Amino acid sequence: MPGWLKALLIVVVVVIVLVVGVVIAGVYWISRNKDAWIAKGKEVMTEGRDFGRKTDNQGCVDESISRYKKEPGFTSTISNAIFMRACLDSSRPTRGFCDDVPRQMEFIKSAQWRVSQCARVPRRPGKRQQLPEPLQSGAAVLRSEDAERQLAADER
């Protein structure tokens, strides 16, 4: 067997062993932390629902942004997305809240809208800005017939 083939096989075996090791370590880490993550998710969802019962859609967005400013980062972004979804689901509709939100399939308009929304939120220099998922998805939850019926009922 040529020397280059032996070296290639050794490299392939080492890479496979490393990948298997990382997968095993990841499964172990996830299994050790999943209960805490689930509890935290339920807690944040309850907070969002409770907050949403006392405010309107815009109040949910403002509170989510405020929470993100206090604690920016990956895990905070996930928590804020859960909070905002639960809050928006239980909050009162805000008239005109989704009027200028583009549909998901309007890619260019959607990107421009996201940039304009991010510009409204002061951020730390050098940090990438991301809107919470319910806003990124075009606030489809707010375009539901239930929200329209609620607005009509509020007008009466």
**How many whole angstroms from its chain centre is CA 136?**
8
Tokens of 81: 């997305």
Tokens of 65: 């942004």
How far is CA 9 from each of CA 20, 27, 39, 52, rounded to the nearest angstrom? 16, 27, 45, 58
Tokens 């928590």 locate to 79
pTM of the model as a whole: 0.60
Q: Give the DSSP letter of residue 91.
A: S
* Per-residue pLDDT tens listing for the chain (156 residues): 788 888 999 999 999 999 999 999 999 999 998 898 889 889 999 999 999 899 888 888 888 888 888 887 888 888 888 998 899 888 888 787 777 778 778 888 888 877 777 776 665 544 544 555 555 444 444 444 444 555 555 554
Q: Which SS3 state, helix, strand or coil, does residue 134 take?
A: helix
Sign of CA dihedral 99, 103, 104, 109: negative
- Domain segments of the chain as ranges: 39-155
